[in-house]
Chain A
Amino acid sequence: MGFLLENILFGVTVYFSYQYGGLPIYMALACGAIVGLICFSVFSVTISNAILMPLKMVRQAILHISPVADEYEGAPDPKSLKIGRDLIVNLIGQLYQIASVAEHELVAAKGEKPGISHEFIASTMPLPLFILDDSETIKYVNQSASEYIGMEVDELVGKNIYMVLDMAFPSDSTFDRWLKDVKGKSATASESWERVRLNVRENHPTLLFDLAAYYNQSNSDGNSTYIILFDHTKQYSQDDQAVSFVALSVHELRTPLTLLRGYIEVFEQELKGNITPELEDFMEKMRAASEQLTAFVNNILNVARIDDDQMELKLQEEDWQKILTHSIDAISLRAKVRGIELKLEIDPGLPTVAADRLSIQEVINNIIDNAIKYSGESKEIKITSKLNPEGLVETTVVDYGLGISTNILPNLFTKFYRDHRNRAQIGGTGLGLYLSKAIVSAHGGNIWVKSKVGSGSTFGFTLVPYGQLSKDKKSDNGDDLIRGAHGWIKNHSYYKR
């Protein structure tokens, strides 16, 4: 059919090009060939999407139900279909249902009690197993699951899964979101997650595991979702101890730092007016260096906590002008000792923002600290804040210093990444921007950079005005919004820690 259409169009195009278009015959033939080729391509793609792909999905589903050696390809994924997806999903669902009914009838015809072997396997398997119906109510738990979370089977069956399992995930990809996504869009689906944290109840130890889930839209027995847990509490707890090591190390660093800052302050107070301007300048530089060291120690700690999903942010309604001004005051000494002026321009009437004050101050600190380091001979850094056209509070930090080359920009927010050209001359560990990106992302904002070598850089980030947060992202009692540095940590709105 495609060839026929192509030939017809080829002939028509050649005729009209030659007879009426006045083209030489060879050009008319070329035009005809091009038109024919385009037509054939479009026809082929359409036929593929509308007929061949759906048929392939159905064939794959049949092979999944009744595998044939060398032809098994796993469950079909209708998400790739561009035409007729709903129809094919329903058709595949019907196939699975027919297969399930046929299997039951076969077992019954053989005189066996249906389901005994499956129930025996489920009840005796050493892995915790939960089976849910379409409303996420627990229909079945095996003995392993009951023992794992320390609740009797009777206490579990009939309850909503989220009332029983308070799961925290290391990223935005949660079980709850996955299930909402696959329902109605897929006939079957499976997914797995690593390092899921389970808080069972007070005084029960936290459990750490990997989770596997399987969803089937059309099971005839009403079981729609199967969940299996793979316990890794011991191993993942040992990983937690690595964070404790960091915490202890930070404590050891902070103690002498406390003394250092304290004695510098004593000297400044006692020697004020009694030492030369040069020595006063040295005292100021010592103070600036100690503040910088404090900020660095905090960065180490926060990066460790983010990497282990232990950083929790509380987003409250905050006056952005106050936060920005306070942060700039705190870092102004470090700029001053290098002869750099920090110029601040804030648009009046900015809305309040949803922010975790301490962590967003670290973002400001890191970005300005970066600007100070890369200022070169330039003596000015400009910080502005305004409401952007998208209605977000946008803050930029502009320096007129060394700049960053274009091929380095994509890696700038990567942990430990530093511009190799300046590595020897400019201090830093590559943690500040990585940390800033994680914090800004957890605030629902974006962070970016524009730069030109020799002209300086502009770093910017956005924050969401507090009033813009949608209802379902606010906690049920309107209190602080809790976010992990990777995003939401609550799995489901029913559950509270």
Chain B
Amino acid sequence: MDNPDMIKVDSPRKVLIIEDEHFIGELYERALLRSGYEVTINVDGVKALSEAQTNAYDIILLDLMLPNLNGIEILRTLRDPSATPNLKAKIIITTNLEQRDDIRADIEKQADGYVVKAELTPSELVEFLDNIK
């Protein structure tokens, strides 16, 4: 049954959610689908990296604490042109882990955005992504 609150978009932007907390991924998926995005969720670091390297996504929401391969390693690989040439996706770090300022600054340099999950509701996250060109 169609949800009347869902926004229909002709060329929906594709989002890859790399998040091992199942319920958080579910909430983000719900909010993104309602706003007309296409969504894929991946919970494992290694599999998520492979998926991201297919270059089929416009936005990647990347958690830092993941099983098998952590988010920082994934970020480095995606930013390495020899490992992931011509990546078009915007990478947004979504984390609840607190970092030292110098470490966070280093991560932010490599990513296109940095979000503390507890500080944004799913709708606010979607609004944030809507403003990314």
CB pair B101–A257 under 8 Å, yes or no, is no
B29-58 contacts to A, CB under 8 A, are 30
Is the C-beta of B98 less than 8 angstroms from some C-beta in chain A?
yes
**Interface contact tally, CB-CB below 8 A:** 55
CB pair A269–B5 under 8 Å, yes or no, is yes
Is the C-beta of B119 less than 8 angstroms from some C-beta in chain A?
yes
- The CA of A470 and the CA of B79, in the complex, are separated in Å by 39
Which stretch of A43-51, A129-137, A246-254, A403-411 is in the interface?
Answer: A246-254
- The CA of A298 and the CA of B96, in the complex, are separated in Å by 11
Q: Which residues of chain A have C-beta atoms less than 8 A from B117's C-beta?
A: 254-255, 258
- The CA of A284 and the CA of B43, in the complex, are separated in Å by 32
Known: A250-B98, A251-B98. Is A262-B116 also a contact (CB below 8 A)? no
A455-478 contacts to B, CB under 8 A, are none
Known: A254-B116, A254-B117, A294-B119. Is A262-B24 also a contact (CB below 8 A)? yes
CB pair A258–B5 under 8 Å, yes or no, is no
Residue of A nearest to B94 (CB): A258
CB pair B98–A301 under 8 Å, yes or no, is yes
A238-282 contacts to B, CB under 8 A, are 247, 250-251, 254-255, 257-259, 261-266, 269
Q: Which residues of chain A have C-beta atoms less than 8 A from B21's C-beta?
A: 255, 258
The one of A251, A263, A294, A301 in contact with B27, judged by C-beta atoms closer than 8 angstroms, is A263
Q: Which residues of chain B have C-beta atoms less than 8 A from A250's C-beta?
A: 96, 98
Known: A251-B98, A301-B98. Is A259-B116 also a contact (CB below 8 A)? no
Q: Which residues of chain B have C-beta atoms less than 8 A from A251's C-beta?
A: 65, 96-98
- The CA of A266 and the CA of B24, in the complex, are separated in Å by 12
- The CA of A297 and the CA of B119, in the complex, are separated in Å by 10
Q: Which residues of chain B have C-beta atoms less than 8 A from A269's C-beta?
A: 5, 123
- The CA of A387 and the CA of B122, in the complex, are separated in Å by 38
CB pair B30–A266 under 8 Å, yes or no, is yes
- A254-B117, A298-B119, A310-B100 known; 11 new pairs, CB 8 Å cut-off, are A247-B97, A247-B99, A255-B24, A258-B24, A259-B23, A262-B121, A262-B122, A294-B119, A310-B101, A311-B101, A312-B102
Using a CB–CB cutoff of 8 Å, the interface residues on chain A facing chain B are 247, 250-251, 254-255, 257-259, 261-266, 269, 294, 297-298, 301, 310-312, 497
Interface pairs A-B: 9 shortest CB-CB: A254-B96, A254-B118, A262-B27, A312-B101, A247-B98, A258-B117, A265-B121, A257-B118, A258-B118
Using a CB–CB cutoff of 8 Å, the interface residues on chain B facing chain A are 5, 21, 23-24, 27, 30, 65, 96-102, 116-119, 121-123
25 contacts between A and B (CB under 8 A): A250-B96, A250-B98, A251-B96, A255-B117, A255-B118, A258-B21, A258-B117, A259-B24, A261-B121, A262-B121, A262-B122, A264-B121, A265-B121, A265-B122, A265-B123, A266-B27, A269-B123, A294-B118, A294-B119, A297-B118, A298-B119, A301-B98, A312-B101, A312-B102, A497-B102
